[in-house]
Amino acid sequence: MGDIFDAWLGDDQRRREPFAAAVLQSMRGISDAGVALFLASGNRDFLLGPAFAHDAGATLLGEQTVVDIAGTRTLLTHGDEFCTDDVAYQRFRAWSRNPRHQRQLLALPYSVRRWIARALRSKSETETARKSESILDVNAQAVDAAFRAHRVTRIVHGHTHRPARHATLVDGRACERIVLADWDDRGHYIAIDREGVHEHDIRG
Ligand SMILES: [Mn+2]
């Protein structure tokens, strides 16, 4: 659900960086084995594009995707759009998701993009350290609005680095918001079937 990569400078990164190439090959292995693979981009890898998806054998998802998973209408999204209390971040988000800005960025030489990505990353780290926990987390009204707007009872997202399952009532309907882990220090995933949601750790 986005931010697979801490920085994505454009799909030429898959050829320039061995780590990116290795991740791509792993994904290719999954899709070659016959597993349908879908990828979302996040705020760190917002330039993840069709060439990467093609080579990985994956389908790139839009910002928000509603899908039926084991009988439950589910919204899949990166989740940063719910962090509406962080006004400065939402300004950056709007700027970075603008296709014209993305085209301008991608037209720059790779070395310049790498420099910009480092500068953005360090600015983001400084600001994240300065901001309160509640500003960085999702806004409850924004989440409720998404449950209503998409008529879903389950949302799966990442972004906030606070893996959890939140049960909530929206207009009397039992709803669940699942936050995926960030994979910084452990691999973690969920599987959903008719019985419900199952959490799994990947031990190296
Ligand atoms: Mn993110």
Report pLDDT digits (tens) over 126-169.
Answer: 999 999 998 999 999 999 999 999 999 999 999 999 999 999 99
Query: Ligand 1 centre from 76 Cα, in Å?
Result: 14
82 DSSP assignment: G
At 204, the pLDDT band (50, 70, 90 cuts) reads: low
Q: What does residue 131 show for φ and ψ, rounded to 5 degrees? A: -85, 155
Query: For 108-119, how does the pLDDT look when each residue is reduced to its tens digit (9 = 90+)?
Result: 999 999 999 999
Taking residues 35-59, what's their average pLDDT?
97
CATH of domain 62-202: 3.60.21
CA of 45 to the centre of ligand 1 (A): 8
Distance from the alpha carbon of residue 88 to the mean position of ligand 1, in angstroms: 15
From the CA of 70, how far away is ligand 1's center (Å)? 26
Residue 51 phi/psi, 5-degree rounding, is -70, -40
Determine how β-strand 154-157 pairs with β-strand 173-179. Answer: parallel
Q: How far away, in angstroms, is 42 Cα from ligand 1 center?
A: 5
pTM score = 0.94
**Ligand 1 center to 189 CA (angstroms):** 16
CA 1 to centroid of ligand 1, rounded, Å: 9
The residue extents of the domains of the chain are 62-202
Mean pLDDT calculated for residue range 27-37: 98
| Ligand 1: centre distance to CA 18 (Å) | 23
Q: Quick one: tokens of 7? A: 């920085």
